[in-house]
A and B are shown apart, each in its own frame.
Chain A
Amino acid sequence: MQSFEYRQARSPEGAIANAGEKTRFIAGGTTLVDLMKLDVERPASVIDINGLPLDRIEVSPDGGLKIGAMVRNSDLAWNANVRQRYAVLSEALLSGASPQLRNMATTGGNLLQRTRCYYFRDTNYKCNKREPGSGCSAIDGFHRIHAVLGGSEHCIATHPSDMAVAMMALEATVHTRGAKGERSIPLNDFYLLPGSTPDSENVLEPGELITHVTLPPLPQSTRSHYLKLRDRASYEFALASAAVVIRTSGGRIEFARVALGGVGTKPWRSREAEQELHGHEANERIFRAAAEAALKPAKPLRDNAFKVELAKRVIVRALENTTQTA
């Protein structure tokens, strides 16, 4: 691992003021330390933000939830408010990583997780995300775990987070502080598609710090659910997952949000699926139509073509699970 200068931040202002182009903020460290050991991340300076007072979960005045960037994944998953009102978020968090990692990983850090693409993680291979312009080893290589939605000829790496998929379906907002002041960014606008610049993954500027995430209140009797499919029963990244937020009345769908994990180059909100569902009777036929619509833009390659059908089925099953118990 390359050596670095280490500082502890006493305040968000201090963290931002001391951050340069080659600075990384460190919270739980579960992504950053891993990638520093692989020489994929080589920060010249690391600012420890564990001392910042951003570790609270509060009900906001509008009845939504305000989640500090330093709230640990396990604390967020077990929070009574989250379990009762935002089940999809609790389920997504508990399906991610392991208990040890969830005790370390934070809300802000989880949003900034880097891809699990094997070629990104191995400096012996070409990777446009790690080294812009070097090429993509995944497109011509083994790409079973890679994205079928949102890819480009430069990158097909999936975003690995489960939490972010749930937050996408919950229409979360990311709040930041940087040299230019504070910003509130809808999560939907936070992530960038790879296009020709896969090294740019989100709209954060260098030195900009995530301070908290807010969730809007959900209408009464809204149900939500996260379903994750993977190669083993636990402790594995998604091959395909679905986050569903839905409200039905008299069997008719009044409100639906659908987001997908494991198949997109970013946490993937599917407005196409939502449009299919809205106003219709909740039944398997319409769920399947929504799934077909969601995967219509899919561009599968040789090894990941199975994900198209897998993603459709995870959408249908998640919708069934959520509406059957209603």
Chain B
Amino acid sequence: MSKPSDSETSEQENTGSRPLFGKFSRRSFLSQLGVAGLAATTAPLAHAAPAAPQAEAETAAAAVPGAAPVALKVNGQTHKLMLEPRVTLLDALREHLQLFGAKKGCDHGQCGACTVHVNGRRVNSCLSFAIMHQADEITTVEGLAQNGELHPIQAAFIEHDGYQCGYCTSGQIMSAVALLKEPIGKEDHDVREAMSGNICRCGAYNNIVAAVQHVRRSA
């Protein structure tokens, strides 16, 4: 894969050395833990930067050779980026737009953690180049809640405890939301089949099916 964009690392350089467990966002906390676990360690940590403000992210990658202007409409908002053609939709969302909801699991279309909606349909964002989606409406898990109200599927995942570690959860939720509009059967086994593209290593499947069926039955 191509190297991640400079947006995060350049931000990191600007912030200089950072105390290992100083002020942190959830993301920086998790990534610091991960790195610290590998090598009892020294700051600064390469991946520990907090989410950069959008405006900075959108200009930071402009100097990458081979980059082309790419306009992406994500959660109703259009972003103008400079991206190499080989940047996947997933990497554009995470590394350039700081939308960390879609997760990088396998990066090969085998786990579903990167699931987002393109024009209302669920897809694996890791298997598509961002530059191919300039005319599309992209929705990530960050765009599901409306006016501060969780999507019914999000609320049902909380009510039914449809997760453990949470890594697959945004992909599960994006799949489940899309599934509501697909022509699938009513039974639990139909939901299991329709959710089979989202792997949960913790094995929260029973609760995920319960959450999805709760919403389908109350619709």
Given contacts A6-B131, A29-B128, A99-B182, contact A37 B108 (CB under 8 A): yes
Is there contact, CB below 8 Å, between A1 and B124?
A: no
Is there contact, CB below 8 Å, between A29 and B108?
A: no
A325 contacts the other chain (CB 8 A): no
Residue in chain A with minimal CB distance to B118: A103
A100 contacts the other chain (CB 8 A): yes
B168 to chain A, nearest CB (A): 13
A48 contacts the other chain (CB 8 A): yes
Contacts of A326 in B (CB 8 A): none
Contacts of A48 in B (CB 8 A): 131-132
B59 to chain A, nearest CB (A): 22
Provide the bound-state CA to CA distance between A101 and B175, in Å. 12
Is there contact, CB below 8 Å, between B196 and A104?
A: no
Is there contact, CB below 8 Å, between A30 and B109?
A: yes
Q: Which of A4, A78, A100, A104 has the most CB of B within 10 A?
A: A100
Residue in chain A with minimal CB distance to B121: A103
A34 contacts the other chain (CB 8 A): yes
Contacts of B86 in A (CB 8 A): 1-4, 36
B169 contacts the other chain (CB 8 A): no
Residue in chain A with minimal CB distance to B178: A99
Given contacts A6-B85, A99-B179, contact A104 B128 (CB under 8 A): yes
Is there contact, CB below 8 Å, between A99 and B84?
A: no
Which residues of A1-56 are within 8 A (CB) of B?
1-6, 26, 28-30, 33-34, 36-37, 46, 48, 50
Given contacts A3-B86, A37-B107, A99-B197, contact A104 B129 (CB under 8 A): no
Contacts of B127 in A (CB 8 A): 28-30, 33-34, 101, 104
Contacts of B212 in A (CB 8 A): none
Is there contact, CB below 8 Å, between A50 and B132?
A: yes
Is there contact, CB below 8 Å, between A99 and B175?
A: yes
Given contacts A37-B108, A98-B197, A104-B124, contact A29 B115 (CB under 8 A): no
Q: Which of B122, B175, B178 has the most CB of A within 10 A?
A: B122
B155 contacts the other chain (CB 8 A): no
Residue in chain A with minimal CB distance to B134: A8
Is there contact, CB below 8 Å, between A78 and B183?
A: yes
Which residues of A194-237 are within 8 A (CB) of B?
233-235
Given contacts A6-B129, A29-B128, A29-B129, contact A104 B85 (CB under 8 A): no
The size class of the interface chain B forms with chain A is 20 to 34
B8 to chain A, nearest CB (A): 19
Contacts of B197 in A (CB 8 A): 97-101, 235
In the complex, per-residue mask of A84-103: 1 if CB is within 8 Å of any chain B CB, else 0: 00000000000001111101
Which residues of A113-146 are within 8 A (CB) of B?
none
In the complex, per-residue mask of B84-98: 1 if CB is within 8 Å of any chain A CB, else 0: 111010000000000
Provide the bound-state CA to CA distance between A2 and B175, in Å. 31
**Contact pick for A101, options B2, B68, B124, CB 8 Å:** B124
**Contact pick for B2, options A1, A97, A100, A233, CB 8 Å:** A1
Which residues of B30-59 are within 8 A (CB) of A?
none
Contacts of B187 in A (CB 8 A): none
Is there contact, CB below 8 Å, between A37 and B129?
A: no
Provide the bound-state CA to CA distance between A182 and B132, in Å. 27
In the complex, per-residue mask of A47-74: 1 if CB is within 8 Å of any chain B CB, else 0: 0101000000000000000000000001
Given contacts A1-B2, A78-B183, contact A33 B88 (CB under 8 A): yes
Contacts of A30 in B (CB 8 A): 109, 124, 127
Provide the bound-state CA to CA distance between A104 and B118, in Å. 10
Residue in chain A with minimal CB distance to B136: A50
In the complex, per-residue mask of B187-212: 1 if CB is within 8 Å of any chain A CB, else 0: 00000111011100000000000000
In the complex, per-residue mask of B120-143: 1 if CB is within 8 Å of any chain A CB, else 0: 011110111101100000000000
Interface of A toward B, CB cutoff 8 Å: 1-6, 26, 28-30, 33-34, 36-37, 46, 48, 50, 74, 78, 97-101, 103-104, 233-235
A–B complex contacts, Cβ < 8 Å, 28 sampled: A1-B2, A4-B85, A6-B68, A26-B129, A29-B128, A29-B132, A30-B124, A33-B126, A33-B128, A33-B129, A34-B109, A37-B1, A78-B183, A97-B197, A98-B112, A98-B196, A99-B182, A99-B197, A100-B115, A100-B175, A101-B124, A101-B197, A103-B122, A104-B127, A104-B128, A233-B192, A233-B196, A234-B196
